[in-house]
Structure 1
Amino acid sequence: MRLPSLLLAAVSVPFTLAIRRDAQSTFSIDAEHSDWDKTPHSDVTGNLIFNSVVDVLQLWPNSLHRHGHSLVAATIPAGTVLYHGRSRETVPDEPDWLAFDFEHAYLFARGNNGHVLSFMTSRALKIVYIDGAGAAKIDDGSMDSQDIIAWRGVHPEYTWKERERIRELCKWASGVHIDGFVRQEFHFELMQCDFSDGLDLITSLDVVPSAGGPRGWKGSLPTASFEQATVAGKWHDRLPGETRVQVDLSGFVSFYDPALTSLVEARRGQRRAQHRLLNISTADIDTKMAELENVLTRATPEHPSGVDWKSVTHVIVDRYADRLKRLERTLGSATSRAVAVSARNQLLIMLEPYLSRDSVPSDDGSKDWLGPVVYRCAASATSYIPVDLLTEQERLILASVDQTLHEICRRLARMWEVAFDVEEAETEEIDATIQSLRRETIELVLWLDWSIWVKCRPACAEDEMCYIPMWPFGGADPDDMTPRCLPYPSQ
C-alpha cells in the first residue's frame, strides 16, 4: 500500500536535531526553516489519527466519537477473568459475548435459571480492538468498520443482525488465527469466537434473580441494572482505560490513512462526530483489509522499534492540554493590559524549552527568527525515533505526531511574535493583540479537538457522575453530546 515516505534529514541548529520530512501527510521544514508557518491542508488527518491513538481503550472519548476508524492488533493476557450472563448454566457452543465485569454480564442472566459464568483465559487471546462505540445499535456509523470486516462493505440495514455479525466476523477471524474482537457500548465487551479454546470455566453461578426471590431470602432483591453496568464501564472512562486489553500499536490500522482517497470528500466540512465509512470504495476496502490481515499474520518484526506510542502521544497532551485551556480562559476575559501580559507569560512557558539567545526579532521585520523555534519545538518528541525499525502502521502514527506537534508549535510561535513586545505596547494596541491571540488559540483548540477537554463544568458532586449520552440511554444525536451530572445509582 502507498504510505508516506519518512526520511531523516540532519540539519545544523543551536543543538543537534534530526527531523523527518514528508511530502504527503505531515509537515516539511527545510534546513533554513523558511516554511515554518505552513498551514495544514483542510484534508489532512494527522490530528485525527493522533486522537485515535491517544484515545485507545478509553470509554469516554470513544463514546464521544463513536464512529470508529481504527482496527488494532491486541491481546487479552492469560489469567484474565471474563464473564458471560445467560438464561442457562451451559457454556456457549457457538460465538458469543463476554463481559469484562460482573455487572455487565448480570444484565443477561435472565429468567428463573439465570446464570453468570466466569472464565479465566488459559493463554493470551489474540484479538482485534475496534475503536469507537462499535456495540451501539445505531445505524449512523458506529458499526461501519465491523461491517467492512464482516461483509466487505457498510450495511446500515444490518445494525440489529448481531448473531449474523458475530458469525461472519468469526469466519474471517479463523482465517487470520485470532480469537475474537473487543468493542464498546456503555462498557467494553469481547466477541469470543470459540469458548472451548483459550478459556477455562471457573464458576457457573445461579445468580439471585431480580424478581421472584429465592427461598429464605429477606429484604429487597438485587437489580440487574443498566445503571450499575454503566458505573462499571465508567471505571475505564479515562487513562489507563481498559487495561485487560493490551494493544499493539505497531499493528494500528486506520481508516484516516491519507492514502484512502474515497473518504476525503465525505469528510469535508464535517465534524469528527459525523465522520463515517459509508462512502469507502471497494479498492480502499481491499487495501485496508489486506493491511489488517498482514498485521495479524506477520511474524514479529525482526528489529522491533520498541517505541511506546501511547506515551509519546500522551506526553504531548499532558504538556499542552491544561496550558492551552488556561490560555483560552485568560484570553476570554475582558480586554486589559494584565490579560495580555498574562497571555504572554503563558506562551513563554510553553515555548521556553525551544528558545535560544538568538530567538529575537530581526531589524528587517521578517519572521524568520521564529523558524528555528518551531523546528526545535516540532522535533522535540520524535526527531531520533529509528524510522528504519518502524512498521508501516507506526510510520503513519509518527506522521500524525509530527503533524500535530508542528501545528501546536506553529500556532504558539505566531502568538509569541504578536505578544513579544506587548508589555511595552500602547494601550490602543492591547485590544488588537488580545483579539489576535484569542483567534489563534480558539482555532488551535478546535483543530486539536482533544477529548480531555470535554468534561462536566462545573464538576459533579461526590454523589454524582459525569455522563455523556450513549446507547442505549440516548445519544442517537451526535450533536447532543453535552456532558451532564447524574445522580450516582444506588442500585
Structure 2
Amino acid sequence: MRPLSALAVYSLFGLSAASSTGPVVKNANHIFNVIHDSMRQWGSSLHHNGVSFFLVTVPAGTQLYHGTSNESPVNGTEWLAFEPEHAMVFARPRRRAPGGGPDGPPPPGEVDDEDKRREGHEELRRRHPHGQDETHPGPPPPPFEQFDENKAGYLHTYAAMKDLRLLYIDGMSAAKTQKGTLDSQDVLLFNGTVDNSRGSEPRGKGPRGEGDRARKACEMAEDDWAGRVDGVLRMEAGFEIILCMFERDLIPVRITQVKSRTMDEHARGNNGWEEKDHGPPDGGRRKGPGPGGPDSLRWMRAVTARYQDIGANRVSVNYENFVTAFSHDVDLFPNDSALPRLEHLSHSELKPIQKEVTALVLTHDARESSWNWRATADAIVTRYSDELTYLASNKLATIEALHDHIEVLFSPFVDYSERDALLEADRCATQFMPVSLQGPKSLAARSVYSVAHTVCSTLLEVWVEQELESARDTLTGLIRYLDWTTWKECRGCEVNEICVIPIWPMGTVDDYDNPQCKLVSNPYDGDGESYWGGMHR
C-alpha cells in the first residue's frame, strides 16, 4: 500500500471544514446522540436531560392504555401509556385516607369528584416519598389506608381516532428529579411558572406540578400553537402521552377490570414497589428504591423490551426539522456538568430557543417527508462502536497490528493508485448517507455527517501514528467525545435477567456507572447511593 504522508493527514484536518456538508457543526456529537437516543428507553435513560423537541405522529388505530380506578371512559386531558403493563400499575382502587378523598377531606367549597382527581393526574402520577423523608425518591403510593378487597382498578384500552400530532420532549422528561430532567419543560416551555410546591398546593394541581404541566402544555397547544399538536410525548419508566382531548382523539376499545389484590398483597408489594431501607437519615449511603412483585415484574419486562425502540411503527419522528438547545450559542454545561442544564440560562438566552420551538410547530408537520436519520446514526454506531472499543484496547499489541486493522476498515474507501486523505475521509463519512441528501442540508444531516467524518478522520490519523500509546490515547479521546450509549450495554444477560440502569425513581449511582445483568424479578435490590437523590419539589 501507499501510506499517507504526515502532510496529507494534516491537510485532512486543516481542510475538514471544506467537506461535502460545510463547516463543522457545533455540538455535533450531542446532536448525533439526541437523534440516536430518540424514542429509545436505553439511550434516553442514560442521556436523561433532554433539551430537544421533535414533531411526532402516532398513527390512527394505534392502541394506547390508561390505568384508573374508574370504569367510565375518560374525557378531557389525561395520560396514556404505550404499554399496558405501564398503565396497569395505576389500575387500582381509589385511594382514600380516613375522612375523605385521596388526601383527606377536600377544602371547603371544593367538590371531591373523579374529575378533580383526574385533573391532578391522580391515577398516573400521585407518587409520594417514602415515609416522611422527602429527600428520597418516591415510587407509586403506599397501600391504601382504606381498602376494599372486593374492589379493583380498570385498564382502559383506546385507539387513536386519527393520526395524533404530538410534541416529543426528549430525554427522561417525565421524571420528577432535580437533575435537570424537567428543565426543557419548567424552564424553557413554561418560563418557571410551574408550581412544584408540596403541602400548600391547591387540590387538583398534583404532586410536583404534573397537573400544572399538563394544563400548560395543552393551553400552549391551543393558544400559542393554533391547535397544531394534540399533546406531548415524554418518557420515564416507559413512554407516555399527555393527550389534551380524549373524547376528540380516541376511540374506546375496551375497559377491563384488573385482578383485585388483597390487603396483604398491597402491603407486601406496595402496588408493585417494595419499600427499601434508605440507610442512615444523615444522607449516607442508601439503597435505591426498587420494584417488587407481579406488577413491577410485568412493568420492567415491558420497559426493557423498549430499550432499543418504541416498536411496531407506533411513533413516526420528523428528523428533518427539530429544535435542540445544542445548536444555540449557550453554555449548556455549567461548572463542567456531565449532562446539559437550562436552569442557569437568562431569559434572553432562552428566548431564541422558545421562538424556534413555536416556529417548528407552526410551520412544520410531523407527517411531512423526513429521512430517518436515526437509522443512519444506527448504521454508523453499529459499524464503529465495537471496532473502536477493540482498537482502543490492549488486544492489539503493536502499532503495526493496529495499522493493519484500520486498513481493513478503510480499504473500501481507498484508491491505492492515488491516495487522498480528504476524499477517503469523505467517502467513509458518507457511506450510509443517500447521495441525494449529501451537501449542506438539515441539521440532522450535517450533525450525522460531522460525527461520521470525525470518526473516519481520526482513524486516518491513527493509521499514520507511530506510537502505540499515543494512538490508543487518540482513540480513547474519540470514544469520550462520541459518548455512545452502546458502550454501557450489558453483554450476555440470561433470559431471566435484564441490563439495569437507573430509570426514575429507581437505581443507584453504580447502576449508572456500571450497568449489570440482574434478575428481572428484583433488579433494583442492591445497596448503594440512590442515583436520583431528592425528588423535584
1:228 corresponds to which residue? Answer: 298
Q: CA 1:122/1:93 → structure 2, altered by over 3 Å: closer, same or farther?
A: closer
Q: Aligned to 1:130, which of 169, 175, 198?
A: 169
Q: CA 1:299/1:68 → structure 2, altered by over 3 Å: closer, same or farther?
A: closer
Cα distance in 2 between the residues matched to 1:353 and 1:240: 34
2:347 corresponds to which residue? Answer: 282
Cα distance in 1 between the residues matched to 2:56 and 2:16: 30
1:356 corresponds to which residue? Answer: 415
1:263 corresponds to which residue? Answer: 331
Deviation at 1:156, TM superposition (A): 9.4
Would you say the 8 A contact 1:117–1:201 is kept in 2?
Answer: yes
Matched, 1:401 2:448: yes
User: Aligned to 2:406, what secondary structure does the other structure show?
Assistant: helix
Matched, 1:145 2:184: yes
Q: State the AA in 2 paired with 1:64.
A: L
Q: CA 1:440/1:449 → structure 2, altered by over 3 Å: closer, same or farther?
A: same
Would you say the 8 A contact 2:194–2:212 is kept in 1?
Answer: no
Would you say the 8 A contact 2:52–2:322 is kept in 1?
Answer: yes
Cα distance in 2 between the residues matched to 1:310 and 1:376: 20
Would you say the 8 A contact 1:58–1:241 is kept in 2?
Answer: no
Matched, 1:346 2:405: yes
Report percent identity of matched pairs.
27
User: Aligned to 2:464, what secondary structure does the other structure show?
Assistant: helix
Deviation at 1:29, TM superposition (A): 2.7
User: Aligned to 1:244, what secondary structure does the other structure show?
Assistant: coil
For structure 1, the 5+ residue unaligned runs are: 1-22, 214-220, 361-368, 420-432
Q: CA 1:291/1:237 → structure 2, altered by over 3 Å: closer, same or farther?
A: same
Q: CA 1:226/1:236 → structure 2, altered by over 3 Å: closer, same or farther?
A: same
User: Aligned to 1:197, what secondary structure does the other structure show?
Assistant: helix
Would you say the 8 A contact 1:86–1:109 is kept in 2?
Answer: yes
1:249 corresponds to which residue? Answer: 319
User: Aligned to 1:402, what secondary structure does the other structure show?
Assistant: helix
1:132-171 deviations in whole A, cap 9, x for unaligned? 1111111120111122454224879568111111111111
1:467 corresponds to which residue? Answer: 500
Cα distance in 2 between the residues matched to 1:196 and 1:149: 29
Q: State the AA in 2 paired with 1:439.
A: D
Q: State the AA in 1 paired with 2:390.
A: R
Q: CA 1:478/1:141 → structure 2, altered by over 3 Å: closer, same or farther?
A: farther
Q: State the AA in 2 paired with 1:407.
A: T
2:462 corresponds to which residue? Answer: 415
TM-score normalised according to structure 2 size: 0.70
Cα distance in 1 between the residues matched to 2:92 and 2:76: 19
Q: Aligned to 2:78, which of 66, 79, 96?
A: 96
Matched, 1:168 2:216: yes
Would you say the 8 A contact 1:262–1:279 is kept in 2?
Answer: no
1:182-229 deviations in whole A, cap 9, x for unaligned? 11111111111111111011112122112269xxxxxxx996623321
Deviation at 1:240, TM superposition (A): 6.4
Which segment drifts farther, 274-283 or 197-206?
Answer: 274-283
Which segment drifts farther, 58-67 or 434-443?
Answer: 434-443
Matched, 1:117 2:156: yes
Cα distance in 1 between the residues matched to 2:326 and 2:381: 20
Matched, 1:190 2:232: no
Deviation at 1:396, TM superposition (A): 1.6
Q: CA 1:297/1:439 → structure 2, altered by over 3 Å: closer, same or farther?
A: same
1:205 corresponds to which residue? Answer: 256
TM-score normalised according to structure 1 size: 0.76
Which segment drifts farther, 75-84 or 275-284?
Answer: 275-284
Q: CA 1:490/1:211 → structure 2, altered by over 3 Å: closer, same or farther?
A: farther
**Larger relative contact order, structure 1 or 2 (CA cutoff 8 Å, min sep 6):** 2
Cα distance in 2 between the residues matched to 1:192 and 1:287: 27
Deviation at 1:486, TM superposition (A): 1.4
Cα distance in 1 between the residues matched to 2:70 and 2:19: 67
For structure 2, the 5+ residue unaligned runs are: 1-13, 94-150, 198-206, 265-271, 273-291, 524-537
User: Aligned to 1:172, what secondary structure does the other structure show?
Assistant: helix
Q: CA 1:349/1:155 → structure 2, altered by over 3 Å: closer, same or farther?
A: farther
Cα distance in 2 between the residues matched to 1:210 and 1:301: 42
Q: CA 1:267/1:212 → structure 2, altered by over 3 Å: closer, same or farther?
A: closer
Q: Over the residues paired in the alignment, what is the CA RMSD in angstroms?
A: 3.4
Q: Aligned to 1:486, which of 518, 521, 525?
A: 518
Q: CA 1:284/1:314 → structure 2, altered by over 3 Å: closer, same or farther?
A: same
Deviation at 1:384, TM superposition (A): 4.1
Deviation at 1:379, TM superposition (A): 4.6
Would you say the 8 A contact 1:228–1:489 is kept in 2?
Answer: no
Q: CA 1:473/1:453 → structure 2, altered by over 3 Å: closer, same or farther?
A: same
Cα distance in 2 between the residues matched to 1:192 and 1:30: 44
Aligned length: 415
Cα distance in 1 between the residues matched to 2:91 and 2:310: 29
Would you say the 8 A contact 1:73–1:247 is kept in 2?
Answer: yes
User: Aligned to 1:183, what secondary structure does the other structure show?
Assistant: strand
User: Aligned to 1:160, what secondary structure does the other structure show?
Assistant: helix
1:247-298 deviations in whole A, cap 9, x for unaligned? 11123211111xx22325x357333xx2211123323332222222222222
